[in-house]
Amino acid sequence: MTETLAAVLLGFFATGYLVLGGADIGAGMLLPFLGRDERERRRVVAAIVPFFLAHEVWLVATAGLLIGAFPGLEARLFPGLFPLIVALVAGWIVRDVGLWARTQVAHVACDVAVTAGSWTVAGAWGWILAGLLTGVTDSVAGGAGVALIAAVVVGLFAVHGLAFARLRLTGRPLERARAVTGGAGDRATFAVTAAMLAVLVVAAGARIGLSGSAADDATLRLLVPALYAVLPLLLAGQVVTWRVFRHRVAAVAPGQPGES
Amino acid sequence: MDVLELARLQFALTAGAHFLFVALTLGLATVVAVLQTRATVGRSEIHGRMTRFWGRLYVTNYAMGILTGLVMEFQLGLNWSGLTHFAGNVVGASLAMETLVAFFVESTFLGLWIFGRDKLNRWAHLAAIWIVTLTAYASAYWVLVANGFMQHPVGAAPGPDGLRLTDAAAVLTNPSTLQAFWHVLAGALVTAGFLLAGVSAWHLLRRTPEQEFFGRSLRIGVFVAAPALFLSAATGGRQLQLIEEIQPHKWEAFSGGAGLARVGALLMLTAFAAMFFFSFLNVALALSRRVIVTARLWHVALIAAIPLPYIAMISGWVFREVGRQPWVVDGLLTTRDALSDVSPAAIRFSFVTFVGVFAVLIAVNGWLLARQARRGPDPVAAPLEVLV
C-alpha cells in the first residue's frame, strides 16, 4: 500500500516536472526565434525567470524520491543512463547560469547559454524517454525508432514552450508564437501540449517495472506519510507563484528603469 | 589515477564547492531576513536598501549553491550507487526529505522573493524571505542527518538487502548530526559577518559616497561574526570530544601523523585562532562611529580577512570527511565498495564534464559577485525585475 502511494507520488512529480519545467525549457529553446533583437530577447527571458526555480524543483523532488523511496530502481536507471544524465545535468547548469547572468548583464553569451542549454536538456530527455518507451531501462537505447521518438519529444518540448510563451508574452514575440501553434486559444493550446507531455510521462512510467525496487517498509511507512503531509504546502507555493506572475510581460518604453 | 580516486576527487570538488556556497548563503539569508524585518516593521529606508544590496549578493551566491547541489544529488546516484544500495533506507530517505520538505519550498519561495518584490505586499514579501531562511536551515539539517549517519551509524540494523531502519528517533537525534548542524550554522554566520565587514571596508577605504550605508553594514558584520565565533568554538570543542568517543580512528588521525585529515584540522584551528583574536580588535574599533569610517589600515585588514572563514570551513570539512576514510559509512561500508559498477571511461567522462562546467561556473560567479559588490547599492530597482 505505502509502495503504491510512493509510486503515485513519483509519477506525480515526474509529470509535474515535464509539464511545468518543459514549458520554460521549450521557451528557452526558442529564445532566438521568439526574440529577434536584444529588447525582445530580454522580454522572453523575463517571461521565463520568475518560473524556472519553481519548475526545476519538480525534477529535484523526482530524483530525491527515486533515491529515497525506490533505491533499487535508481541503482538500475542511473548507471544505465549515465551519459544521458551527465548531459542533462550539464545542459541544465549551462542554461541556469545563462538565465541568472542574464538578469544582470545583457550579453549575447547568456542567450547562447540559455538556448544551447535548453536544447541539450530537451535532447537528453528525448533520448531518455525514447529509451524508456521502448522498454530499455538499464542502458542507453539506440536505433532509428529511438531516434525518431526522441525527435518527436524534443519537438513537443518546443511546441509546449511556444504555448507557454503565448501565456506570458505580448507584441511581436507573442505573434510569432501564435503563428506557429495555430488558431486555438492561448490557454487551450497550453492545456493540449501539457496533456500530451503528461501522457508521454505516464506511458514511459508504465514501461518501468517498480516491483522489488522500493525501500524497506519501515522507511516507507515514515517517509510516505511525511511527504503527503507537506504536499499541500508544496502545491500552495506553486499556486502562489502562478498567481503572482499571471500577468504578461509587456514592453518597457526606452528610458524607463527597466531599460539598461 | 584509479577510478576510485577519480570519483572521490570529483565528489570532493563538487561537495567542497557546494559547502562553501552554502556556508555563505545560510548566514547571509539570516542577515538579509533580519534586515528586511527591520525595513518592513520600522519602515526604515536604509534597511530597505541594505536588504536589496546584500540580498543581491546572496541570490547570486545562492544560484551557485543550487547548481553545485544538483550535481551532488545526481552524482550520488551516478558514481556511488553502492551507498544508496546499502544505506538507502536511511541516507536515501533523509535526502528525499531534504529535497521535498526543505529544498522544494525554499526554491519556490526564493523565486517569489526575488521576482515578486513589486508584486507582493510588503508583509508577504517579508514572509517569503523568512520561509526561504527557515527551509534553508531545514535543508542543512536533513543533509546532516545523512552525513551524521555516515559518521556514526545509529538506528539501523543490517538486513538481507542492506541496512534497515530500526529506530527513526535515534537517526534524527544522532549527536554527530545535531552538533555538526549547530557548528555549521555558527560557521555560516561567521562567513557572512566577515563578508559584510570586508565588502563594507572596501567601500569605506575607497571613500565611495555611501559612508552611512557601509559604516552600518560593517558594524553589523562585526557584531554578527564575534558571537558566532564563540558559538563555533563551543560546538567545535564538543564535536572533538564526541569524535574521541565514537570515531577513535578519526581521533588518531587528528592527534598524530601527517595525513590530510590532520592537516585539515590544524589549518582549521589556525584560521579560527586568527579570526578569534582579530574579532576582539574588531569589536573594540567598531564601537566608535568615527573609527569605522576613518581607520584605513583596519579596512585593509578586514578586506584581507574575507577568505579566513572559508579556509576554516573547508579545512574543517576535510577533517570531518577525510577522517572518516576508508569508510563511507563508518565501520560498515568502505568507500571502495560504495563505488558504482560503471566503466572507468564513464567516470572520466563525468569528471571532465563537471569539472569543466564548474570551472566556468565559479569564474562567472566570482565575476558577478565582485561586480555587484563593487558597484554598491542601487537607488532604483534591479534591471530585469521591473519587467517581470
pLDDT tens-place values along chain A, 260 residues long:
788 899 999 999 999 999 999 999 999 999 999 998 888 898 999 999 999 999 999 999 999 898 888 888 888 888 888 889 989 999 999 999 899 888 877 788 889 999 999 999 999 999 999 999 988 877 888 888 899 999 999 999 999 999 999 999 988 989 898 998 887 888 999 999 999 999 999 998 888 877 778 888 888 888 898 899 989 989 999 999 999 998 888 766 444 444 33
Residue A94, min C-alpha distance to chain B (Å): 8
pTM score, whole prediction = 0.91
Residue B309 in any domain: the answer is yes
Tell me how far apart the alpha carbons of residues A46 and A5 are, in angstroms, rounded to a whole number: 37
CA-nearest residue to A55 within chain B is B108
What domain count does chain B have? 1
At residue B163 the predicted structure's pLDDT band, cuts being 50, 70 and 90, is: confident
Whether B381 and chain A come into contact, CB under 8 Å, resolves to yes
Residue B94, min C-alpha distance to chain A (Å): 7
User: Are B178 and B185 in contact, with CB atoms under 8 Å apart?
Assistant: no
Residue B335 in any domain: the answer is no
Please list every residue in chain B whose beta carbon sits closer than 8 Å to the beta carbon of residue A69: 92-93, 96
Residue B237 in any domain: the answer is yes
Q: Mark residue B8 as left, alpha or beta (left: phi above 0; alpha: psi -120 to 50; beta: remaining).
A: alpha
Pick from B301, B273, B271, B304: nearest CA to B285: B301
> At CA B50, angle to CA B46 and CA B55, rounded to 5?
155
From the list A64, A72, A237, which residue is nearest B98 (CB)? Answer: A64
From the list B92, B99, B364, which residue is nearest A60 (CB)? Answer: B99
Grid cell locating B215? 559604516
Counting every residue written for chain A, the total comes to 260
CATH number of the domain that residue B290 is part of = 1.20.120
CA-nearest residue to B167 within chain A is A218
User: Are B46 and B54 in contact, with CB atoms under 8 Å apart?
Assistant: no
Q: What is the DSSP letter of A216?
A: P
Residue B14 in any domain: the answer is no
Taking an 8 Å cut-off on Cβ atoms, the answer to whether A223 and B97 are in contact is yes
Counting every residue written for chain B, the total comes to 388
Taking an 8 Å cut-off on Cβ atoms, the answer to whether B100 and A256 are in contact is no
From the list B90, B357, B386, which residue is nearest A252 (CB)? Answer: B386
Residue B60 in any domain: the answer is no
Task: Look up the domain containing B283 and give its range.
Answer: 174-320
Please list every residue in chain A whose beta carbon sits closer than 8 Å to the beta carbon of residue B385: 103
Residue B359 in any domain: the answer is no
List pLDDT tens digits, range B319-333. Answer: 999 888 889 888 888
Residue B339 in any domain: the answer is no
ipTM: 0.90
Tell me how far apart the alpha carbons of residues B98 and B109 are, in angstroms, rounded to a whole number: 16
Taking an 8 Å cut-off on Cβ atoms, the answer to whether A53 and B107 are in contact is yes
Pick from B2, B15, B20, B81: nearest CA to B322: B15
From the list B99, B103, B111, which residue is nearest A241 (CB)? Answer: B111
Residue B325 in any domain: the answer is no
